Structure 1
Amino acid sequence: MTVISSVWHISHLDLLIRMLIATLLGGLIGLEREWSNHAAGFRTHILVCLGSTTIMLLSIYGFSEFVNESNVRADPARLAAQVISGIGFLGAGAILRNGSVVSGLTTAASVWVVAAVGLCVGAGFFFVAVLCTFLALVSLILLNKWEKYLLRNRRVHEITVKVLDHPGVLGKIASALGDQGIQIMKMKMIPDIEITGNSLEKPTMQLCFTMKAPEKGKLLAALDEIHRSEYVLSADSPWLEGLPIKRAIKPVSMP
């Protein structure tokens, strides 16, 4: 009887250690995404990393009984290759588009990186797995802050304001933005009709502004000022996702 080489065997303790390491490393990256209120967060990243580790372990050690068969060619990378291409559907689900604003690209990339970390852990490539996790966290936390500071005056953002069609409303909104140092680059008006409970039609419109805002705090202050107007029904900006600026449409009677 031919003895199978030990390279195709792994102890239960080693299996446990690798899967715990995958849970830890995936959780670290997922925790940062969860803290930033992104779609794929703590548990998602843990499951992706743990799943890819399990597949890698299966690919290397799950077919050890067949390595001495003359008609079987063992390839430990065959299942791992399917993880790399197949993980894309999760990333695609994390990418959202609202007008010209696209969000979720970084989260999609982090899910893909976590899958790579899981494959490294499953293959016993611990140094690269830990190093990749460290560099991913540096990119998500430190480089994210540096990028925002560097491009604070160059980013273009959008806000959408729903108002009653009344003279002077546009001027008040433009003044509120200008008072906070926000530069309006483009504006689009979309007519609408607001139907109330008593079936009275109120002429309304949506004002879509494209502008440069120096910082989130000033945009938030401008939105608060805009929403105080009796003719403004709602004000929102995708840039401030996760902050309490989305408001329900308030009842406003025609003067």
Structure 2
Amino acid sequence: MNDQLPPLLNKAIASEKRLDNLLSDSLTLVENALNSSEISLSERVEIALKILDISGVYHQLNRPQNSNDDPEVAETSTTDTPRLLEANFIQVDNFLSPEEQAETFKIAFQNHDKFFPSGVANNEENTRKSSVLLVQNFDEYYNKIRHKILQIRPQILAQLNLPTFLVSWVEMQMTAHNHGDYYYIHQDMDGEKIANRVLTYVYYFYEQPKAFYGGDLRIYPTYINGDGYTIGEQFVTVEPRHNSIIFFDSRMKHEVLPVFCPSGRFEDSRFTINGWIHR
């Protein structure tokens, strides 16, 4: 029957069949890999995470149930052209010395009982799950880290093409993400009380070898249209590398992807010292 079809159509049908067969074989290969005892658990988890990420399921985990909370995707305006903030960031490796790292872990572990469930400035529900330690619990250490951040601030602003500004406050906290924790798409200056946040920073630290998976940071291109901000469709992914610190424009939409920590131990968490430089 296919012999009576035009040659190009026959060719298209054959190509589609080959693609279907290739996809079927690929799925079988992946399933076999996930069930293979010859592949380590960590490798199988990495494979599963990539599948979830590609399929879009990973991105949907723990998202708000209210459809009105979904982020708006920027649309072309017929009157004003939105100004685009590119999804740029700066990541600096080896930020702290071994002695400073040891002090960081000591503060986190000795204050385990003082971490409390995180919230958000605008009080939206189902947008964030993690544990936070307030800066009042590490005053002296705060001043040390604050000084190091302000030292490199001029270079960071220049690399991000942001104008310099007079600093009024460096806000800081310590955060732990354990199994199932996440932070849905948001902005760090979305709210009257935090409108003066200009530069976001996140310092990553965790036990070696790493005992969790996931927890990558996604930064989205963000469109400014008047007083509104809308999210672009593309994104950059930031790996939470141990002893590295990242900086980005606080106006950028971003999210922390779900963390998978099989042990559930606090000490195995994805830890950060994170905060914001205010104008």
TM more than 0.5: no
TM-score norm. by structure 1 comes to 0.24
TM-score norm. by structure 2 comes to 0.23
The structure with the largest alpha-carbon Rg is: 1
Q: Which one has a larger percent helix, Structure 1 or Structure 2?
A: 1
Greater length-normalized contact order (CA 8 Å, ≥ 6 residues apart): 2
